[in-house]
Amino acid sequence: MFLVVVYGLVLALPLLFLVRRSLSPSPQPPPVDPQPEEKKSLKTIMQPPRDDLDPPKDDPFTLDQLKEFDGSDSSKPIYVSIKGTVFDVTRKSDVYGPGKSYNIFAGKDGSKGLGKSSLNLEDAVPDYSDLPENEKNVLNDWFSFFQKRYNIVGRVTDMPASVSNLANL
């Protein structure tokens, strides 16, 4: 009798395992990332702060002079100005270079567009005086981001009068 019980258990355990496995929900595969290129792009832009930046420079630039640094001439650096402060973004030419996602800001002060989180050409202008408070906060966040990652090479001397008093917000 004891042997019958043992043989019964030996035969029943694998059968119970198979029954339980077929009734349990199957494990789900990990979710497929539908936008790997977008995440790759964000990773390219969102680099960590740097601790090897040069001391800030105060070289004067006019908005017209700044246009020369839009990435179209590979012998010149790429500059982006935010709130009148000029940053050298050359090392990220894969983002700010010709035909790249943020080239709209290269060679100009695009403060308004950054505050609005807009890549529209008409928004890439220095006058951000009419931005609502929340968009000015976004602009300040961008300014802080750039300060921690790119060398400051100068300042724009002919910012619109409407933003001259706002430059230190």
**pLDDT of the chain, 169 residues: tens digit per residue:** 655 554 555 555 555 555 566 565 555 554 555 544 444 444 445 678 888 999 999 999 999 999 999 999 999 999 999 999 999 999 999 999 999 999 999 999 999 999 999 999 999 999 999 999 999 999 999 999 999 999 999 999 999 988 766 654 4
Q: Which two tokens stand for residue 74?
A: 């590979």
Residue 164 contacts by C-beta under 8 Å, 6 or more apart in sequence? Answer: none
Domain ranges across the chain: 52-160
Q: What are phi and psi of 38, to 5 degrees?
A: -65, -45
Specify the CATH class of 52-160 in words.
alpha beta
Token pair recorded at residue 132: 């609502």
Distance CA 86, CA 154 (A): 5
101 vs 159: CA distance, rounded Å:
25
Residue 123's closest CA among 137, 108, 134? 108
Cα-based torsion angle of the residue sequence 153, 157, 158, 159 in order, rounded to the nearest 10 degrees: 60
Contact 114, 133 (CB under 8 A): no
The reply to whether the predicted model has a pTM over 0.75 is no
